[in-house]
């Protein structure tokens, strides 16, 4: 771990005012990273539309597959951290994250040109996933470089304040992507946007790429790395030093479990899962949901700087862990309130018209279908799939073995059916498709009569209260995320810092965070409870609180300029 602040500090004390060069470092690093997050989050914001363009299957499985492709970019982020972290510790911070932004920008631009499934078949999703993998690799190398670069320019006592600007970039990137999407939707209309207009935000990214490259070419190397390189003390094998020596590997593991794992699930619940919940579960119109989320983000974003600066005074550890505790304790009431204010008709139906699926439990399966091509033919799976697609919460009641599942809506009972598959095993045969269509019509009529809305009524949405709830969810994000960059930088020595801090950050955010929408969505579909997916971030956040409290030491007074 980086040593005590008693060692000489290359950047002086916290009493020194911010210089013009330091302002340039913060601005240039942050602006470039905003554009990179913009590129990465376009896909997540447009996942429902992309599901229809590139993947086949029923709405639930296609959307899950689209989310998995979104998550693919997160899954490979730790590998990008290893590749680019190694380069960053060997050749320098500046040129490494210049490379990452070129990869990111190029991949995003190509997504905007990529033909859909209808034009080129299975090649479309394959190429799309490949581009997502490139984006993930690039992002895996970007964050550690930008955070390390800014921290190594910061005076002692101001690292939390300086690096908190980097922490705003993910939220600002998402905010920018939502604004561009909203502007395009408004300009050309929803029908044209769904057909071809969704490509415009991806194509616009080439302009942002040009600006970012120009800015980063004008930057100098960080003083800590430049001094270390001049002294010939750079690492020759940063991977083996970072992960092959137990002293450092132990800190990497603790940083993952005791910090970034919990930070990640709070981050993605507050920003992405909230958006998915509004559009997919509460059936709020996409444009309306984007506006409300953007307003919540705009109101909460200054608190990244607040909590980053506060961490310079009182420490980073308990701000981060405190955010995890508060989030875990309040997610259920907050998302319940979101339902109340965004779709009161759905809330009323859930309370007053309970739905029960009576089925042989051996015929009810976990319908996690990543390819979007598998059909689940049992009567229980057909019934629960229909209810999940309609955002209808249900409970299950065991029925005798071998019986056909029934759906009870209020006092009305509807009998499901066991489908017969086509010879290739990929779809229902014609008779089963006809039976499915008839059942869907009957179930749709029953849940409509019971008060379940097909979509949220825009006139009934209490928009100020929804924005307030979204603001609170993002406020938690600012608590856990504002101080995290400074803390991770301070945990590791200069010679292996880029590599060491990047891996736990991207495993936490890429795997535990990036997979959150997919895991939570599948949990909801399996359980029949629209809030059941929240157990995933709650449990992960609480694990981080326990491990972080017991084993992580405060770092704000560490000297980050030590080479050993």
**pLDDT-based confidence at residue 425 (cuts at 50, 70, 90):** low
Check residue 70 and give its pLDDT: 64
Check residue 454 and give its pLDDT: 83
Residue 14 confidence (pLDDT) above 70: no
Point out which residues pair with 398 in neighbouring strands.
359
**Contact residues for 133 (Cβ-Cβ < 8 A; gap 6+):** 72, 73, 76
Check residue 426 and give its pLDDT: 61
pTM of structure: 0.80
In 3D, which of 218, 215, 209, 226 has the Cα closest to residue 148? Answer: 226
> Which token pair is 518?
């997919």
Report all structural domains of the chain as residue ranges with CATH numbers, in order of start. Answer: 3-343+458-559 (1.20.1250.20), 348-449 (3.40.30)
> Which token pair is 119?
């034009």
User: Do 145 and 96 contact (CB within 8 A), yes or no?
Assistant: yes
Alpha-carbon span 92 to 534, nearest angstrom: 41
Of 102-116, 137-151, 440-454, 528-542, minimum mean pLDDT range: 137-151
> Which token pair is 380?
């229980």
Over range 425-431, report the average pLDDT.
77
Check residue 232 and give its pLDDT: 66
Q: Give, rounded to a whole angstrom, the gap between the first and last alpha carbons of the chain.
A: 9
Task: Please list, residue by residue across 310-319, b when 16 or more beta carbons sit within 10 angstroms of its beta carbon and e when fewer do.
Answer: bbbeebbbeb
- pLDDT (tens digit per residue) in 497-520: 778 888 888 888 878 887 787 788
Alpha-carbon span 257 to 250, nearest angstrom: 11
**pLDDT-based confidence at residue 462 (cuts at 50, 70, 90):** very high
Check residue 381 and give its pLDDT: 87
Residue 45 confidence (pLDDT) above 60: yes
User: Do 15 and 312 contact (CB within 8 A), yes or no?
Assistant: no
- pLDDT (tens digit per residue) in 104-140: 888 888 988 999 888 888 788 888 888 888 888 887 7
Of 238-247, 404-413, 465-474, minimum mean pLDDT range: 238-247
Residue with tokens 């539309």: 49
**Contact residues for 340 (Cβ-Cβ < 8 A; gap 6+):** 347
Check residue 5 and give its pLDDT: 43
Task: Please classify residue 196 by burial: count the beta carbons closer than 10 Å to its beta carbon, then call 0-12 exposed, 13-18 middle and 19+ buried.
Answer: exposed
CA-based torsion, 146, 152, 155, 159: positive or negative:
positive
**pLDDT-based confidence at residue 18 (cuts at 50, 70, 90):** low
Residue with tokens 């003083």: 223
Residue 269 confidence (pLDDT) above 80: yes
For the chain, give the longest Cα–Cα distance. 80
Alpha-carbon span 61 to 424, nearest angstrom: 18
Check residue 553 and give its pLDDT: 92
Check residue 374 and give its pLDDT: 58
Over range 55-59, report the average pLDDT.
63
* Cα atoms in the 13 Å half-sphere on the side-chain side of 166: 26
């Amino acid at each position: 771990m980086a040593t005590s602040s008693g060692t000489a500090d290359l950047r002086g004390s916290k009493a020194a005012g911010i210089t013009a060069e330091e302002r340039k470092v913060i601005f240039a690093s942050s602006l470039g990273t905003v554009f990179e997050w913009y590129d990465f989050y376009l896909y997540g914001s447009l996942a429902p539309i992309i599901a229809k363009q590139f993947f086949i299957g029923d709405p639930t499985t296609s959307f899950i597959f689209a989310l998995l492709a979104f998550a693919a970019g997160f899954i490979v982020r730790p590998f990008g951290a290893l590749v680019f972290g190694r380069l960053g510790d060997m050749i320098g911070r500046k040129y490494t994250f210049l490379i990452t932004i070129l990869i990111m920008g190029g991949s995003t631009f190509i997504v905007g040109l990529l033909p859909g499934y209808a034009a080129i078949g299975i090649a479309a999703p394959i190429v799309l996933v490949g581009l997502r993998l490139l984006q993930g690799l690039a992002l895996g190398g970007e964050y550690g470089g930008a955070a390390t670069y800014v921290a190594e320019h910061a005076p002692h006592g101001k690292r939390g304040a300086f690096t908190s600007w980097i922490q705003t970039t993910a939220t600002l990137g998402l905010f920018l992507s939502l604004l561009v999407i909203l502007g395009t939707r408004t300009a050309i209309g929803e029908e044209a946007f769904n057909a071809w207009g969704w490509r415009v935000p991806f194509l616009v990214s080439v302009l942002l790429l040009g600006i970012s490259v120009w800015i980063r070419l004008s930057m100098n190397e960080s003083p800590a790395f430049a001094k270390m390189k001049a002294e010939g003390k750079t690492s020759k094998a940063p991977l083996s030093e970072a992960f092959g020596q137990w002293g450092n590997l132990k800190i990497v593991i603790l940083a993952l479990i005791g910090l970034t794992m919990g930070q990640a699930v709070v981050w993605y619940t507050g920003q992405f899962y909230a958006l998915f919940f509004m559009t997919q579960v509460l059936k709020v119109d996409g444009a309306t949901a984007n506006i409300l989320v953007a307003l919540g983000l705009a109101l909460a974003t200054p608190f990244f700087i607040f909590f980053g600066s506060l961490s310079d005074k009182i420490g980073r550890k308990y701000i981060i862990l405190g955010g995890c505790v508060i989030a875990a304790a309040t997610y259920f009431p907050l998302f319940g309130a979101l339902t109340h204010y965004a779709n009161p008709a759905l809330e009323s139906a859930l309370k007053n018209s309970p739905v029960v699926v009576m089925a042989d439990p051996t015929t009810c399966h976990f319908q996690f279908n990543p390819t979007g091509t598998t059909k689940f033919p049992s009567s229980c799976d057909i019934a629960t799939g229909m209810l999940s697609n309609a955002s209808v919460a249900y409970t299950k009641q065991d029925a005798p073995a071998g019986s056909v599942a029934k759906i009870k809506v209020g006092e009305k009972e509807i009998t499901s059916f066991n489908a017969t598959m086509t010879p290739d095993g990929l779809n229902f045969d014609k008779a089963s498709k006809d039976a499915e269509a008839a059942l869907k019509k009957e179930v749709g009529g029953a849940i409509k009569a019971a008060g379940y809305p097909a979509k949220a009524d825009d006139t009934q949405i209490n928009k100020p209260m929804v924005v307030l709830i979204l603001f609170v969810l993002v406020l938690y994000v600012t608590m856990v995320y504002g101080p995290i960059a400074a803390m991770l930088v301070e945990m590791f020595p200069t010679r292996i810092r880029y590599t060491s801090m990047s891996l736990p950050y991207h495993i936490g955010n890429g795997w535990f965070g990036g997979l959150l929408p997919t895991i939570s969505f599948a949990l909801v579909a399996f359980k029949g409870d629209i809030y059941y997916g929240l157990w995933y971030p709650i449990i992960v956040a609480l694990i981080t609180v326990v491990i972080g409290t017991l084993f992580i030491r405060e770092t704000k007074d560490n000297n980050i300029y030590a080479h050993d």
